[in-house]
Structure 1
Amino acid sequence: MTRDKATIAVVMFDRASMFEMSVPVSVFGVDRTSFGAPRFTLLPVAADQGVLATTGGIRLHAPNGLEALEKAGIVIIPSWRDAKERPPDPLLRALREAHQDSALIVGLCMGAFVLAAAGLLDGRRAAMHWYYAPSLAAMYPNVTVDSTVLYEDDGDIVTSAGTAAGLDACLHVVRRLWGAEAATAIARLMIVPPQRTGEQAQYLEQPIPGVPANDALGKVMAYALEHLDEAFDVETLADRAHLSRRTFDRKFRALTGISPLQWLLHQRILRAQRLLESTELPVDVIARQVGFAAAVSLRPAFRRIVGMSAQDYRTTFRARRSPHSCPRSVDEPPACRSE
């Protein structure tokens, strides 16, 4: 059957987050055609029987059953209630059939657990909120989980990190299928940025899952964070853990959900962000303090991960301080208030 991409099915669940389920409805369920947006047909689909209970005791009724997925050109799984709970088999079958019949499948945040359970993410890269990434990686080892990006477009499947990143992914889908003007029209009325690239970082610093202090990986991570100003590589870390590179990569990914190289690069960029916010050090000096040979090496990595240049980041995010409390170096005391 020929599927109309402007027909969007949003699958809803009992006990799932109201906000997460409302994200694609907010993008595709409001008529903005008078402002230049496309006309969409939204199909709210209930994956569970009866009235659905959601956040704050709110109850809702989705008027369509899973058979509506047969008509949708885009199927969106906006959430899931519990990473450890297997989704219903009828839903998994319907998703596989829709995917085989050329529907674009979108999993927002925990919705990726549903896509993974259906086998749709095997051998693919998937974006995931940093908190849930280790669980997704452990449960579905055939999925390459990326907790450092806002969303991932893998052609016929799109995944995103949590909450606001779901908006970014939905707007990306609009931009990809209907063009930049359509996405901008929707974003303007929603008062959100019209485009944040998928590779832009999840701005939250990613805590490492609890690792015993005497654990080899825990020691290696601590060492890396203490020596970010040195130009070591992943092989150095593997040697310190007394593991082969392949074994180190496998154990590290099982623990964190990302590769050691991704983690190390992200930690260097996070340190650079802090220095840009809290000091007036030149970018070239900051580059060397976080393990890059020079600013020319830092700049492209910073822009790819953060989504803006280092100088723009400094201008936008630098902490506001009084003229009497502005340390020029991270080695100077942080408190210098006038009494």
Structure 2
Amino acid sequence: MIVDILALDGVFDTGLAALQDTLATASELSADVGGPAIEPRVISLRRNTRTANGHKLSTSLCSDDRQARIIVVPAIGAKTPEGLAQALTHRDIAKAGELLRALKQDGAIVAAACTGTFVLAESGLLDGKIATTSWWLGPFFRSRYPEIVLDDRQMLVVGDGIVTAGAVLAHFDLGLWLVRQASPALAATTARYLMIDPRPSQTGYAIPDHLAHSDPLVERFEQWARDNLDQGFSLQAAEEALGTSRRTLARRLKSVLGKTPLNFVHDLRVERAVHLLRTSSDSVEAIAEKVGYADGVTLRTLLRRRLGRTASQLRNLEA
């Protein structure tokens, strides 16, 4: 199984290495575990391609071969919305889009991770589809691509031959997903060798107030919600405290975060609960009361749903 990794000039070093190492490890293990050999090939649009840290890459130039295959776009090195917006104006982005569209039309699986998802979005292949990206770039992604349904809670979103992955270390998750298509057993063994735990969601890594700061009203709502986290949520109380209408508040939260006011409050409660689980000896029931839930059962259910982990597992992470 050949996997082409499209390294654009300024590719993020960690993302590229994560894909290469995951696929190469799986290939070496395939003889013992079973499954096809996997050949990761780094391809590029130019002869002299360097990583974001200035390392020169040994790559093959993209060919005119249109046989169906797998092509992956790792992250590009920009780390802020401003830097990313500038990087997306580079002529290689448009050329990459042409290549991705042609390969997808001929049956290829097209994938991207982290800021590489913006390259995929620029190609138009994600229009009208569900996708994910790095959690901290969610507001920028939504404002730039309103025609794409962004679910940045997810680590991976798969559909219609297109795969998008979340923040930097999601390159490992993406690499394992590609291996799993050839052999689930090989993917499981590779994950054990690389010590990669299942991470279905980015929610546990997101910093809600970081996201909220991209809009003044959302930021004020975030601060009000934190100050009243142990109280039952009231949208009427929120609009009175902030001097705005519930419709305006809901619209701004949806535009910036892709969430309802109540869902964002749930995020803040989960964040506080996880912090208390890791730093205090309080019972789950006591923590539930502190973050506005009636009982520990509700909190446990929310932790499983949003983080994919139980409260006891979260404690064990810090043991």
| Separation in structure 2 between the aligned mates of residue 35 and residue 278 of structure 1, nearest angstrom | 43
Gapped runs of 5+ residues in structure 2? Answer: 79-83
Deviation at 1:202, TM superposition (A): 4.2
Q: Which amino acid aligns with 1:28?
A: L
Which residue number in structure 2 is paired with residue 20 of structure 1?
A: 15
Are residue 166 (structure 1) and residue 171 (structure 2) matched?
yes
| Separation in structure 2 between the aligned mates of residue 7 and residue 293 of structure 1, nearest angstrom | 52
Which of 116, 133, 136 is the matching residue for 1:131? 136
Q: How many equivalent residue pairs? A: 307
Deviation at 1:147, TM superposition (A): 3.4
Written as runs of structure 1 = structure 2, the 5 A alignment for 1:172-191 is 172-175=177-180, 177-191=181-195
Are residue 43 (structure 1) and residue 35 (structure 2) matched?
no
Which residue number in structure 1 is paired with residue 81 of structure 2?
A: none
Question: Would you tell me which structure has more helix in proportion to its own residues?
Answer: 2
Change (3 A) 1:285 1:248: same
Change (3 A) 1:199 1:210: closer
CA-to-partner distance for each residue in 1:289-329, whole Å, 9 max, x for gaps? 212222222212201222210122123226xxxxxxxxxxx
Q: Which amino acid aligns with 1:228?
A: L
Contact 1:46 1:66 in 2 (8 A): no
| Separation in structure 2 between the aligned mates of residue 172 and residue 212 of structure 1, nearest angstrom | 32
Identity %: 24
TM-score, normalised relative to structure 2: 0.85
Deviation at 1:210, TM superposition (A): 7.2
Which of 93, 97, 118 is the matching residue for 2:98? 93
Which residue number in structure 2 is paired with residue 289 of structure 1?
A: 290
Change (3 A) 1:259 1:208: farther
| Separation in structure 1 between the aligned mates of residue 144 and residue 99 of structure 2, nearest angstrom | 22
Q: Which amino acid aligns with 2:284?
A: V
Q: What secondary structure sits across from 2:60 in the alignment? A: coil
| Separation in structure 2 between the aligned mates of residue 72 and residue 29 of structure 1, nearest angstrom | 21
Q: Which amino acid aligns with 2:43?
A: V
Q: Which has the larger radius of gyration?
A: 1
Higher RCO (CA < 8 A, seq sep 6+): 2
Q: Which amino acid aligns with 1:76?
A: V
| Separation in structure 2 between the aligned mates of residue 179 and residue 12 of structure 1, nearest angstrom | 26
Contact 1:8 1:72 in 2 (8 A): no
| Separation in structure 1 between the aligned mates of residue 186 and residue 120 of structure 2, nearest angstrom | 27
| Separation in structure 2 between the aligned mates of residue 157 and residue 138 of structure 1, nearest angstrom | 21
TM-score, normalised relative to structure 1: 0.80
Tell me the C-alpha RMSD between the 2 structures.
Answer: 2.7
Which of 47, 66, 73 is the matching residue for 1:77? 73
| Separation in structure 1 between the aligned mates of residue 52 and residue 315 of structure 2, nearest angstrom | 38
| Separation in structure 1 between the aligned mates of residue 158 and residue 240 of structure 2, nearest angstrom | 35
Gapped runs of 5+ residues in structure 1? Answer: 1-5, 319-339
CA-to-partner distance for each residue in 1:25-78, whole Å, 9 max, x for gaps? 22224532223253123332203x22112143210131131535x234221111
Contact 1:199 1:307 in 2 (8 A): yes
Change (3 A) 1:258 1:44: farther
| Separation in structure 2 between the aligned mates of residue 205 and residue 240 of structure 1, nearest angstrom | 23
Contact 2:204 2:271 in 1 (8 A): no
CA-to-partner distance for each residue in 1:174-211, whole Å, 9 max, x for gaps? 33x23431211222333333xx1423534253433574
Q: Which amino acid aligns with 2:288?
A: A
| Separation in structure 2 between the aligned mates of residue 56 and residue 94 of structure 1, nearest angstrom | 25
| Separation in structure 1 between the aligned mates of residue 214 and residue 200 of structure 2, nearest angstrom | 33
Contact 2:273 2:291 in 1 (8 A): yes
| Separation in structure 2 between the aligned mates of residue 150 and residue 63 of structure 1, nearest angstrom | 29
